[in-house]
């Protein structure tokens, strides 16, 4: 295996690791945003605590975790395969995150879990929220990739 092949393989693995790490950070951030949203909506401590300890983690685990890991992995591998260690990493990460996020959250997820009006999946599959979430995921993946080099 030549030096160039080892370097590209190393960058792809670093990109995949950065993507998976950023996916976990994004799910944790989604949990915090969910708790704050519940607290503002309900305005009571006990129901907020109950929803934060039971329903919200289960919903994030079953609905958001796997698509986010997939988006992060694909974005990281794309960054590792195509970006060098310059400022283009952020552009490639943002574009790849946005593309993969919209494909997975807007295209694939509704085929697996049919969104109902007012349901969590109908919120996740909205193009604006899917785009913002996956853009943040792509930029975070780019940042972790830059730190890992």
Q: Is a pLDDT exceeding 80 seen at residue 68?
A: yes
Q: Is a pLDDT exceeding 70 seen at residue 3?
A: no
Burial 52-86 (b: 16+ CB within 10 A, else e): beeebeebbeebbbebbbbbbbbbbbbbbeebeee
Q: Tell me which residue has tokens 């730190």.
A: 147
Using pLDDT thresholds of 50, 70 and 90, give the confidence band for residue 114.
confident
CB distance 38 to 91 below 8 Å: no
Identify the pLDDT of residue 113.
86
Identify the pLDDT of residue 99.
96
pTM of the model: 0.90
CB distance 138 to 99 below 8 Å: no
- Cα 76 from Cα 22, distance rounded (Å): 9
Identify the pLDDT of residue 138.
96
- The continuous run of DSSP H or E covering 42 comes out as helix 3-42
The pLDDT tens digits for 39-48 are 999 999 999 9
DSSP single-letter state for residue 119: S
117 exposure class (CB count in 10 Å sphere: 0-12, 13-18, 19+): exposed
40 to each of 51, 53, 121, how far by Cα in Å?
A: 13, 16, 21
Higher-pLDDT residue of 9 and 101 is 101
Q: Tell me which residue has tokens 């990739």.
A: 145
Percent of the chain with pLDDT over 90: 70
CB distance 74 to 93 below 8 Å: no
Segment 122-146 shows an average pLDDT of 92
């Amino acid at each position: 295996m030549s030096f160039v092949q080892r370097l590209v393989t190393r960058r792809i693995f670093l990109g995949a690791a950065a993507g998976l790490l950023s996916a976990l950070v994004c799910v944790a951030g989604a949990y915090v945003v969910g708790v704050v949203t519940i607290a503002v909506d309900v305005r009571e401590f006990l129901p907020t605590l109950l929803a934060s300890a039971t329903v919200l983690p289960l919903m994030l685990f079953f609905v958001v975790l796997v698509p986010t890991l997939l988006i992060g992995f694909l974005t990281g591998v794309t960054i590792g395969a195509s970006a060098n260690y310059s400022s283009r990493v952020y552009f490639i990460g943002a574009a790849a995150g946005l593309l993969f996020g919209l494909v997975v959250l807007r295209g694939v997820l509704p085929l697996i879990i049919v969104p109902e009006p007012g349901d969590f999946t109908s919120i996740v599959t909205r193009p604006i929220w899917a785009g913002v979430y996956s853009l943040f995921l792509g930029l975070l993946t780019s940042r972790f990739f830059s730190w890992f080099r």
